[in-house]
Amino acid sequence: MLSAAHLFFAYNTRASQVLSDVSVAVEPRSLVGILGPNGSGKTTLLRLLGGLLHPGRGQVLLDGKPLDRWPRRDLARRIAFVPQETVAPFDFSVLEIVLMGRYPHLGTFALEGPEDLSIGRQALRATGMDAFEDRAFNTLSGGEKQRVVIASALAQTPDLLLLDEPTASLDIGHQLDIQTLLRELNVTRGVTMVLSTHDLNFAAALCRTLVLLRDGRVVAAGPTDQVLSTSTVRALYDVDAEVARHPLAGRLTVTPLSRVSS
Amino acid sequence: MTSIRTRLSTTLLVFGAILVAVIVAAPLVGSTPISLSRALDRSVPLADNVDAQILFVSRMPRILAAAVVGAALAAAGVVFQALLRNPLATPDTLGISSGAALGAMIALTFRLEINVAGLSAIPLASLLGSLGALVTVYALSIARRQGLSTTVLLLSGVTMTAFLSALILFTQYLADFTDTFRAVRWLMGMLDVGGYIPILAVTPILLVASVMLAWLPRPLDLISLGRDAASARGVNVIRAERLALVGGSLATGGAVSIGGPIAFIGLVVPHLVRLLVGSSDHRIVLPASALFGAAFLILCDLIARTVFSPLEIPVGIVTALIGGPFFLWLLLKEHIR
């Protein structure tokens, strides 16, 4: 559905390349995790995949058509983006934030009608935030905000959701909530997802496919069970770790043991 | 939550009614009491009808000037606050009014005698000054391929303002005593336009600004959450930001050329309106602020005309004296975070 081939990107001409020769294929209904140390280019890759940045070289194709040939609004009906953090400088209610997701379907002058309202409320129900619709967004906790922004993205009715570190700065309870929510959206609603994260256990629990980035290059990519191993964790983070299947959870878990010099 | 359609029409109706009431009532109040029935009495010729003279020749142009200036400054304030994602932004933040002020100072000090399309030297020069400031800010905004960061815009605005203020002081230093007094008087803001022509002359610019701003409310809602968020929802962010920059600056420049740099309208009115309508949705806040800004400035000018009657004080002093404490009160009550 979405494929990136040989992407190169630098923020300006003098700066070094943030991404070099990165290729990613995202199949329909898949759940792809992008892993890598700080500064490895995860967020940049996500922004390129969402058409928020234009690659210096290479192309991102959605249904075989380059992103820059898609009208912005048509693209927003297919791909939604959830940033790491959303700051609202003015007081918006939760429902107002969610309804902003209807923009690509409405355009500049149309006002939301009953149908948009019901899509917005459905999105709030899907993220478990339906009791909060009249609350001021700025009074919510980090985890609640993240859910509202995901609901706003769902209101775009996209078939691809890009999430930049969706669990950063959340406690383990909220991390689990987001994990459950994303899996459910993927399985029951068929929403394809690409997310970046620092949390290897979160990625191992949720993502079926991983792309490992270091210094803007793909170190390894493929099914989670095959890609996540002691050697790849070492190659990625310079950390010795035990990667083992957890007896209760039944999935791979990563336990960092010691730092190794690169 | 009631639908946006209902809230929008209710808000526009209420704020529109307030403005109409103020426009009708304000010209009847003043140092010389007049009667509306006598002013509208068709049996007396206009030349002999003192009440009609005061109403239509003396007071009405001033009321309309206040309405136009108040609406433009309030709307520009809303736009700049959203564009810069900063609730403290005002129409002055980017240096547009300082550019206008410099133009006016030069026209005053060097006694330029020009007249184009009904605009005399001072409004014309201030308009050119604001356009000069706009061109500078715009050039900065297109200098970067990926669009402009709010930090760069804010810093360039602060720098422009400081630089232009130095030029304004230098111009005043060159001026003689009476010119300096006129200059200081102009900088306080005044709406004594002396007729309809100065308002009509600026109307085309303000109309262009209105058309530009009309595109913006929904994109501004989204841009206030961040450029990526807006872009990912289908907003052409760079185009919307340029429209906001140019439209807001034209509105500011037009307003300042009529009434001078009247303080606080662009800061206080948007916050007050958000509080009154209980929403930050720009589709409601932008038109409501324009309507309320018009009514607010007419009332401030009414106070300026009457409080020390028959003496008049500059309206900019009234807006600052009301606006300053009021804004602090808003901050203390945590209506603004």
What pLDDT, in 10s, does the model give residues B88-115? 888 888 888 899 999 988 888 887 777 7
| Residue B221, token pair as written in the block | 């809602």
| Three-state SS at B135 | helix
The answer to whether residues B296 and B269 touch, using CB atoms and an 8 Å cutoff, is yes
Structure confidence at residue A234 (pLDDT): 93
Residues 6+ apart with CB under 8 A from A104: A73, A74, A76, A77, A156, B233, B234
pLDDT at A250 over 90: no
Nearest to B315 by CA among B70, B29, B28, B24: B70
| CB-based contact A83 B226, cutoff 8 Å | yes
Structure confidence at residue A227 (pLDDT): 93
DSSP state of A16: P
Measured between its terminal Cα atoms, the distance across chain B in Å is: 23
Other Cβ atoms less than 10 A from the Cβ of B282: the count is: 27
Residue of A13, A90, A164 to mutate for B, most B C-beta atoms under 10 A: A90
How close does chain B come to A196, measured CA to CA in Å? 16
| CB-based contact B228 A80, cutoff 8 Å | no
The answer to whether residues B320 and B263 touch, using CB atoms and an 8 Å cutoff, is yes
Structure confidence at residue B251 (pLDDT): 94
Distance CA B192, CA A79 (A): 55
Hey, is the C-beta of A55 within 8 angstroms of any chain B C-beta? no
CATH of domain B4-332: 1.10.3470.10
- What does pTM read for this prediction? 0.91
Structure confidence at residue B148 (pLDDT): 67
Q: Which segments of chain B have a pLDDT < 50?
A: none
One-letter amino acid at A231 equals: S
Q: Are strands A31-35 and A252-259 parallel, antiparallel or unpaired?
A: unpaired
In this structure, the dihedral spanned by the alpha carbons of residues B162, B168, B169 and B171, taken in order and rounded to 10 degrees, is 150
DSSP state of A112: P
* Helices then strands, each counted (H, E), chain B: 15, 2
Which tens digits make up the pLDDT trace of A114-155? 999 999 999 999 899 999 999 999 999 988 999 999 999 999
Return the percentage of chain A with pLDDT > 70, whole number.
100
Residue of B85, B233, B274, B336 to mutate for A, most A C-beta atoms under 10 A: B233
| CB-based contact A89 B86, cutoff 8 Å | yes
pLDDT at A109 over 90: no
Structure confidence at residue B186 (pLDDT): 85
Residues within 8 A of B (CB atoms), A 190-249 only: none
Structure confidence at residue A77 (pLDDT): 96
Domain that residue A71 falls in:
2-259
CB < 8 Å to B235, chain A:
72, 103
Structure confidence at residue B263 (pLDDT): 83
Which tens digits make up the pLDDT trace of A174-196? 889 889 999 999 999 899 999 99
Query: What's the rounded mean pLDDT across residues A84-89?
Result: 90
Query: What's the rounded mean pLDDT across residues A26-42?
Result: 94
Which tens digits make up the pLDDT trace of A210-236? 999 999 999 999 999 999 999 999 999
CATH number at residue A196: 3.40.50.300
Hey, is the C-beta of B241 within 8 angstroms of any chain A C-beta? no
| CB-based contact A111 B235, cutoff 8 Å | no
| Three-state SS at B189 | coil
Hey, is the C-beta of A50 within 8 angstroms of any chain B C-beta? yes
CB < 8 Å to B82, chain A:
89-90
| CB-based contact A76 B236, cutoff 8 Å | no
CB < 8 Å to A80, chain B:
232-233
Structure confidence at residue B156 (pLDDT): 85
CB < 8 Å to B237, chain A:
none
CA of A71: which chain B residue's CA is closest? B234
Domain count, chain A: 1
Hey, is the C-beta of B229 within 8 angstroms of any chain A C-beta? yes
| CB-based contact B228 A93, cutoff 8 Å | no
Minimal Cβ distance to B224: which of A72, A89, A108 = A89
pLDDT at A262 over 70: no
